[in-house]
Amino acid sequence: VLVFGAHTFLGFSLCEKFVNEGIEVEAELLEVKNDLHKNLLEERLFMVGRNALFHMRNREESLNLEFVDLIIYCCDDSKDRELLAQDREQIKYAVEMSKALQVPLVFISTYSSNVEKQKHRKHCEQYFLAKLDKVTILKLPCVYGPFQPIVTNGSKYVLEERNFIIFIKDAVEAIYKLLENIHHGKTYYILCEGDKQKGKERYYNPNCEEEEFDIVVIEKPISLREGLKKLTDFNEKYKHLIEEKD
């Protein structure tokens, strides 16, 4: 699997899942400047980097990708305009790779209330649909959990949408399971059981545009209370990485 956007929270979590399942991963990372994001990413790279199935690469490296079976593109979910600009260039390269290798591409994005991020997600989605005959779209609510470069508000951590979020493990497991039986060229919404209707209508299709889609339901998601407990435990364990500098 060739994973674009491996520097993102969801992207790297998918890389870890693939490696744990014995799948070889070629990971494309953009250059991260934010100190918190960089610290968390470096820690994760240290943990998985020695695995022979995981390879970091960039456009300048001439690696043999002859045996790539699937390209996954995780849309950048930061508010960093420089990263978003890099992402808009990266999508062009991903299209080239999909055509050159003749393999399907899956575009994955998460919901955000931020206007700039909404525009960016839509731009990337429309670009892939215009340039590739068959691109699969996966849409998720906000995803949270350990190793997330969460935006800080003073000393407190803030989640964008407290009533419409999925814990990272649930999100990754749902995506992995879907990829085993995916029908390329469709749009999928990954939602929790209680959110499947309001999520589809409120967050993803506000203009009621008709489209062909399937809903993938996470039937027994980790509760918000349990998820936040795991996040709190992580913050305590890795506080040397997330403490704000003077």
Supply the pTM of this predicted model: 0.86
Instruction: Give CA–CA dist 54/74, Å, rounded.
Output: 17
Residue 183, beta-bridge partner list: none
pLDDT digit string (tens) for 95-106? Answer: 999 999 999 999
pLDDT digit string (tens) for 102-119? Answer: 999 999 999 877 788 888
For the segment 18-38, the average pLDDT, to the nearest whole number, is 87
Give the phi and the psi of residue 212 in degrees, each rounded to 5: -85, 120
Residue 18 has pLDDT above 90, yes or no: yes
Helices (H), 30-107: 35-48, 81-101
Look up tokens 């070889």; give the residue. Answer: 24
Greatest alpha-carbon span in the chain: 51
For the segment 166-175, the average pLDDT, to the nearest whole number, is 94
Residue 174 has pLDDT above 80, yes or no: yes
